[in-house]
Amino acid sequence: MQYHSTRGEAPSLNFIDATLAGLARDGGLYVPDTYPVFTPDRIAGLAGKPYAEVAAEVIAPFVGSSLPAAELGRMTREAYATFRHPAVTPLTQVSSNTFVLELFHGPTLAFKDLAMQLLARLMDRALEERGDRATIVVATSGDTGGAAVEAFRGAKRIDLVVLYPHGRISDVQRRMMTTPADANVHAVAVDGTFDDCQALVKALFNHHAFRDRVRLSAVNSINWARIVAQVVYYFVAAVALGAPHRKVSFTVPTGNFGDIFAGYVAQQMGLPIERLVIATNQNDILARTLASGAYETREVLPSSSPSMDIQVSSNFERLLFDAYGRDAAQVRGLMGNLSQSGNFSIASPALAKIRENFSAARADEDETAAVIRTVKREADYLTDPHTAVALAVAEKETHGETPMVVLSTAHPAKFPDAVKAACGIWPALPEWLGDLNSAPERITRMANDQAELEKFVVGVSRITQEGNAA
Ligand SMILES: Cc1ncc(COP(=O)(O)O)c(C=O)c1O
Ligand SMILES: N[C@@H](CCOP(=O)(O)O)C(=O)O
């Protein structure tokens, strides 16, 4: 399997090279040649298998010959052994036709762990085999950063710099990034929004001399390996609810569009998904785009679901690529408009294609708080604000008999203030997180400035300090 840039002007790569590259050299995102298709029998055969086995089976066709199957199996077993629930991603029924897929049983209580635990093992092995090193710069609106720190802390061949928007994430999210004492991780509080952090990461990738000097890599969902690992739980949930003999819909709390794009990939692979519902908070750019065809960025409004406070939704580019019949020139044009004027318009045929599979709606702050209260009262289930956004949207978008699976992307204890304000209950952190609330923090405060960031990265990267070989 080869991977191609959505902008069509970068070399095609195999899975492992695309994983190490992160973002393509033309600024595009890597996508596979084709989506492998699983027959109904093959999907039915996944029932009852352990999560790690399903993961190896679903991911294998994307990896192709770039990694031995036994190695992939070892990595999925090790990655999902870090989870604290035997099912890894259990399903809980909260009303007659609504199921919550709990994706927060990993080491940092967020769905990011599912991909990050595997990605760290993939990168580590590839670098070890090549005798190489990498520098990762990651942008986070709160959860990706913590998951990356946990997965890469202490890595011999990787230095990790995490950019988060100063003052715009929860205390628990920040502490997960700033309290680990490992010398290879560096938390940077940027004066700006998540979009500013993500734009900085992309700017570093587009500065080729810098990129090559520090051997820059990415672990945001711009990295294809993140997406492919997230495809797995769609299969696990749908099969548990009767796929391939029964259709299932999913509602996904959405920001950077990586998680729901993974659902679209599962659907293209033959999983019978009826609808993919994009749930946004008051930063509703994707709901507006699906309604009008106009993608128009606005000011980011802070919300109780901060990880979704995003305007530039990177993985939407991958969907546009497919919706435009894989025409990279069209995607280049749209992305050019976005960077020049902050907007673009989707042509009617492409919009119609998107609407065949996706719906979208928003939940505002009051609706989100009301859902936290109602679900606690009626189902005795405590939910975090991101999941609550999705539950609110799922209620609006559930039509007919098809089961609706709502992705629960974070544990409520990551957002205790918002949960307490909504329903009066303070969700406690699990004891195994130890002294998270009292451990000393290490933070570098920085302006939203590419030159300053480059100087910082060069200063902390062991590649620039010691050379490529570990
Ligand atoms: C808790 C939580 N929910 C939802 C999202 C949105 O997911 P995505 O960016 O893949 O759309 C994020 C951030 O990615 C998150 O951390
Ligand atoms: N919500 C994310 C933003 C980055 O998303 P990613 O999936 O592209 O890494 C976060 O919590 O950091």
Supply the range of the domain harboring residue 407: 84-110+224-423
In this predicted structure, what is the pLDDT of residue 236? 98
Q: What is the pLDDT of residue 467?
A: 82
Angle 316-323/348-357 helices, nearest 10 degrees?
110
Q: What pLDDT does residue 163 have?
A: 98
Q: What is the pLDDT of residues 356-399, one digit of tens each?
A: 999 999 999 999 999 999 999 999 999 999 999 999 999 999 88
Does 442 map to a domain?
no
Ligand in nearest proximity to the CA of 141: 2
Given a cut of 80, is residue 115 above it in pLDDT? yes
Give the pLDDT confidence score for residue 314 in this predicted structure. 96
Report whether residue 133 contacts ligand 1, using a CB cutoff of 6 Å: no
For residue 97, the domain's CATH number is 3.40.50.1100
Has residue 469 got a pLDDT over 90?
no
Q: What pLDDT does 399 receive?
A: 84
- Cβ-contact 176, 230 below 8 angstroms: no
Q: Looking at the CA of 286, which ligand is closest? A: 1
Pocket test for ligand 2, best of 307, 313, 384, 409 (most atoms within 8 A of CB): 307
Cβ–ligand 1 distance for 110 under 6 Å, the answer yes
pLDDT mean across residues, the chain: 97
With respect to residue 164, please indicate whether it lies within any of the assigned structural domains.
no
Residue 341 falls inside a structural domain: yes
Give catalytic status of residue 420 as yes or no: no
| pLDDT over threshold 80, residue 101 | yes
Is the pLDDT reported for residue 82 higher than 80? yes
Model confidence over 250-268: pLDDT tens digits? Answer: 999 999 999 999 999 999 9
* SS3 readout for 223-248: CHHHHHHHHHHHHHHHHHCCCCCCCE
Q: Is residue 367 part of a domain?
A: yes
Instruction: Provide the domain count of the chain.
Output: 1
Q: Mean of the pLDDT values across residues 64-82? A: 97
Decide: 186 and 441 in contact? Cβ < 8 Å. no
pTM summary value: 0.97
Segment 324-347 mean pLDDT? 97
Q: How confident is the model at residue 242 (pLDDT cuts 50, 70, 90)?
A: very high
ipTM, two decimals, is 0.99
For every residue of 348-390, DSSP letters joined together read HHHHHHHHHHEEEEE--HHHHHHHHHHHHHHH-----HHHHHH
Q: Is the pLDDT of residue 7 over 90?
A: yes
Give the pLDDT of residue 402: 96
Parallel, antiparallel, or unpaired: how do β-strands 294-296 and 158-165 relate?
Answer: unpaired
Say which DSSP state 410 is in.
B
The answer to whether residue 140 sits within a structural domain is: no
Percent helix, strand and coil across the chain, each to the nearest 5: 50, 15, 35
Note whether 393 and 251 are within 8 A (CB): yes
Q: Report whether pLDDT(427) > 90.
A: yes
Q: Per-residue pLDDT tens for 393-423?
A: 999 998 889 999 999 999 999 999 999 999 9
Residue 11 inside a domain? The answer is: no
Q: Which atom of ligand 2 is nearest to the CA of 110?
A: 11
Q: Would you say residue 168 has pLDDT above 80?
A: yes
Residue whose C-alpha is closest to residue 166's, from 182, 137, 145: 145
Q: Is 141 in the pocket of ligand 2 (CB under 6 A)?
A: yes
Q: What per-residue confidence (pLDDT) applies to 468?
A: 76
Residue 258 Cβ < 6 Å to ligand 1:
yes
pLDDT digits (tens, 9 = 90+) for 284-295: 999 999 999 999
Distance 254 CA to ligand 1 centre (A): 6
The answer as to whether 237 is a domain residue is yes
How high is the pLDDT of residue 386? 98
Considering the domain boundaries, does residue 289 fall inside one?
yes
Catalytic residue among 112, 202, 247, 353: 112
